[in-house]
A and B are shown apart, each in its own frame.
Chain A
Amino acid sequence: MSASIALQPGALARYETPSTSEPAWIKVTLITVALTFFVIFLLFPLGTVFVQALSKGWGVYLSALTSHDALAAIKLTLITAAIAVPLNVVFGVSAAWAIAKFEFPGKRFLITLIDLPFSISPVVSGLIYVLIFGAQGWFGPWLAEHDIKILFAVPGIVLATIFVTFPFVARELIPLMEAQGAEEEEAAVVLGASGWQVFWHTTLPNIKWGLLYGVILCNARAMGEFGAVSVVSGHIRGLTNTMPLHVEILYNEYNYAAAFAVASLLALLAIVTLGLKTLVERQTRKQISESQKPSES
């Protein structure tokens, strides 16, 4: 038996036969509609961002990006992502592990709860924190007494970002881990592996691509989040402005070139994210299809 003769499953099914293909005019129409839509609603606005950003030349573009406030916004965005993403990785992996490998009461409820940040408006997410930590909020007076600043400061921004990006990793891992089952972990335990060894040697290698995919999505959202962060940030220039907030401020000041220059950075981030996502997606699909391969051969 040789591995080189292994056929890609479904490879044969892709060959078109006259009995399964549509007339040419239908194909052409569908493709034209899809492409037109894609150009008008996606490609054109994306192009505009870069055109506008460079409308006053490279000099203005670069100075907009290297201004003190812009650098501070970029730094804050990076810090926020650097805190929120690892925390959500830890949370996401443990939640997915618990949900996929164990049976416990309240499991369905937990799954629903994980989706909560997806289903409520980001503005509401932000307001929740105002309600908790604001001057009139539950902990407001106590925090003021001890001189701890959460709202309108970096901690508030980080908290709001964590809340909004909460589901990405867990959502990505739960179906993957459920498909893989717990047998490999059980096998490892019987062979004497400790909990940590089981995770490190069996669980993690099996989920690594799905995890990376979740991290990429989580990161993109953490850097791009506007609504929730806007509520808790206070918009203090050079202090509590993240990149999306900085774009808004510049735009409201009619400083279009600078606004679009910062926006182009976010757009670039999106493009890089999409590229990575496509690469990782391919690997994830491979991992899932391997885990669902019938055991006989």
Chain B
Amino acid sequence: MSIHVTDINKQFGAFRALDNVSLDIPSGQLVALLGPSGCGKTTLLRIIAGLEYADSGRILLDGEDASDRHVRERQVGFVFQHYALFRHMTVFDNVAFGLRVRPKKFRPAEAEIRKRVTRLLDLVQLGWLADRYPSQLSGGQRQRIALARALAVEPKVLLLDEPFGALDAKVRKELRRWLRQLHDEIHVTSVFVTHDQEEALEVSDRVVVINKGKVEQVGTPEEVYDNPATPFVASFLGSVNLFHGRVDGAHLHVGEHALHVGHDHNVTDQAIAFVRPHEFDLLPVDSPEGGLPARILRVISVGPTAQVELARLDGELVEVTISRDALSVLGLREGDNVSLRPRTIRVFQGERLAA
């Protein structure tokens, strides 16, 4: 089932949680709402679910206006950050709940409920925990049960609010891979909220980047990572180095040095540019290609790549990631002077600066 969000506004007192948000989520996709905490992403999810009402705007589910439809009738599955399992019920009863509360004529027979719950528990690979209580489960297990419970009512849309937020790093990684596989199996339109860019980029088909109640960019993980539409997206997805400067034509002037930016830009006095740590070449000082002079402060050579921390002449820090092989070929050490040359540079000028 597709989801269309049109012109949603939501205000909490003086705080503007959502500012004219519009969004299309095609059927069958797994979409991440990504943004810093307090950006309105959870509010948007709750409005789609019907747990919160928008001040204005519409929610269309499958093309039909669902803005005034009660949560009960929206046929959504919702997974809460803190699981919200019914603590006095066994795992089995938790999963069966949605089927058992149905009005009599829509309620499956108990044998059918048993079959469906068992199948769901197998789907989340926790059939052996059916008789346990939530307090006896680990966080990862609880979240999987919560997911099974949400799926039991065969929702048209699955909404997940920071589903892995309360889990430790290792379990989180396992569980998000598992969520992706599960989605590929059942293909229900899913939206999940996260503030973890790695999670959003790894799991989703499409990423919606939200900041201060506004949608900054919508795109595939590659699009938003490689071609950020706004400075916010550039700085929020992955680590970046920031340069302030002046643009004329194909060059960005940072202090008295010029960097080649690829294609022509308007001439402006103010521009900011982003370069990701792995997009730098380290060259010997005074190399013909030019670049920013900098001094190596620290080299952290652990793992597959080396982290190099440098200081520009004006004292600003720059972070560079290069392969350990390249580092040893160059023979660079702490205290050496080098020239920094970005291979890719993203320049933002004018009104996009303000965004």
Please report the C-alpha to C-alpha distance between residue A205 and residue B89 in the assembled complex, in whole angstroms: 9
Asked if A193 and B88 make an inter-chain contact with CB atoms under 8 angstroms apart, the answer reads no
Please report the C-alpha to C-alpha distance between residue A190 and residue B150 in the assembled complex, in whole angstroms: 9
Which B residues, 120 to 142, have Cβ-Cβ distances below 8 Å to chain A?
132, 135-139, 142
Asked if A291 and B153 make an inter-chain contact with CB atoms under 8 angstroms apart, the answer reads no
Please report the C-alpha to C-alpha distance between residue A192 and residue B107 in the assembled complex, in whole angstroms: 12
A162-186: CB near B (< 8 Å → 1, else 0) gives 0000000000000000000001101
Which B residues, 31 to 56, have Cβ-Cβ distances below 8 Å to chain A?
49, 51
Taking CB atoms, residues of chain B closer than 8 Å to A187 are 78, 80, 84-86, 146, 149
Asked if A190 and B71 make an inter-chain contact with CB atoms under 8 angstroms apart, the answer reads yes
A189-206: CB near B (< 8 Å → 1, else 0) gives 111111001000110011
B149-193: CB near A (< 8 Å → 1, else 0) gives 110110000000000001110000000000000000000000000
Asked if A290 and B167 make an inter-chain contact with CB atoms under 8 angstroms apart, the answer reads no
With A184-B87, A290-B135: A191-B51 Cβ-Cβ less than 8 Å: no
Taking CB atoms, residues of chain B closer than 8 Å to A297 are 137-139
Asked if B149 and A186 make an inter-chain contact with CB atoms under 8 angstroms apart, the answer reads no
Please report the C-alpha to C-alpha distance between residue A190 and residue B88 in the assembled complex, in whole angstroms: 18
Majority-rule SS of A interface residues: helix
A275-297: CB near B (< 8 Å → 1, else 0) gives 00000000000000011010111
Closest to A183 in B: B84
With A186-B51, A191-B153: A206-B139 Cβ-Cβ less than 8 Å: no
Please report the C-alpha to C-alpha distance between residue A293 and residue B142 in the assembled complex, in whole angstroms: 14
Residue of B49, B77, B166 near A295 (CB, 8 A) is B166
CB distance from A196 to the nearest CB of B (A): 10
Taking CB atoms, residues of chain A closer than 8 Å to B105 are none
B72-86: CB near A (< 8 Å → 1, else 0) gives 100011101011111
A1 contacts partner chain B, Cβ-Cβ < 8 Å: yes
Asked if A190 and B101 make an inter-chain contact with CB atoms under 8 angstroms apart, the answer reads no
Which A residues, 57 to 72, have Cβ-Cβ distances below 8 Å to chain B?
none
CB distance from A199 to the nearest CB of B (A): 12
CB distance from A266 to the nearest CB of B (A): 36
Asked if B84 and A192 make an inter-chain contact with CB atoms under 8 angstroms apart, the answer reads no
CB distance from B152 to the nearest CB of A (A): 8
Asked if A197 and B101 make an inter-chain contact with CB atoms under 8 angstroms apart, the answer reads yes
Closest to B106 in A: A192
With A205-B88, A296-B166: A191-B101 Cβ-Cβ less than 8 Å: yes
Asked if B71 and A188 make an inter-chain contact with CB atoms under 8 angstroms apart, the answer reads no
A3 contacts partner chain B, Cβ-Cβ < 8 Å: yes
Taking CB atoms, residues of chain A closer than 8 Å to B51 are 186, 189-190
A143-155: CB near B (< 8 Å → 1, else 0) gives 0000000000000
Of the listed residues A192, A197, A202, A297, the one surrounded by the most CB atoms of chain B closer than 10 A to its CB is A192
CB distance from B77 to the nearest CB of A (A): 7
Please report the C-alpha to C-alpha distance between residue A184 and residue B166 in the assembled complex, in whole angstroms: 17
Taking CB atoms, residues of chain A closer than 8 Å to B150 are 190-191
With A184-B87, A291-B87: A191-B149 Cβ-Cβ less than 8 Å: yes
CB distance from B167 to the nearest CB of A (A): 7
Asked if A290 and B98 make an inter-chain contact with CB atoms under 8 angstroms apart, the answer reads no
Please report the C-alpha to C-alpha distance between residue A230 and residue B77 in the assembled complex, in whole angstroms: 57
B102 contacts partner chain A, Cβ-Cβ < 8 Å: yes
Please report the C-alpha to C-alpha distance between residue A295 and residue B145 in the assembled complex, in whole angstroms: 14
Taking CB atoms, residues of chain A closer than 8 Å to B166 are 295-296
Taking CB atoms, residues of chain B closer than 8 Å to A189 are 51, 71-72
Sample of 7 further A-B pairs with CB below 8 A, known A186-B78, A192-B102, A194-B72: A3-B132, A190-B72, A193-B97, A194-B101, A201-B86, A296-B168, A297-B139
Closest 10 CB pairs of A and B: A191-B98, A183-B84, A187-B84, A205-B88, A193-B101, A190-B78, A296-B139, A295-B82, A295-B166, A197-B101
A-B contact pairs, 21 of them (CB 8 A): A1-B136, A1-B138, A3-B132, A183-B84, A184-B85, A186-B51, A186-B80, A187-B146, A189-B51, A190-B72, A190-B78, A192-B98, A192-B101, A194-B101, A202-B86, A205-B86, A206-B87, A293-B135, A295-B82, A295-B166, A297-B137
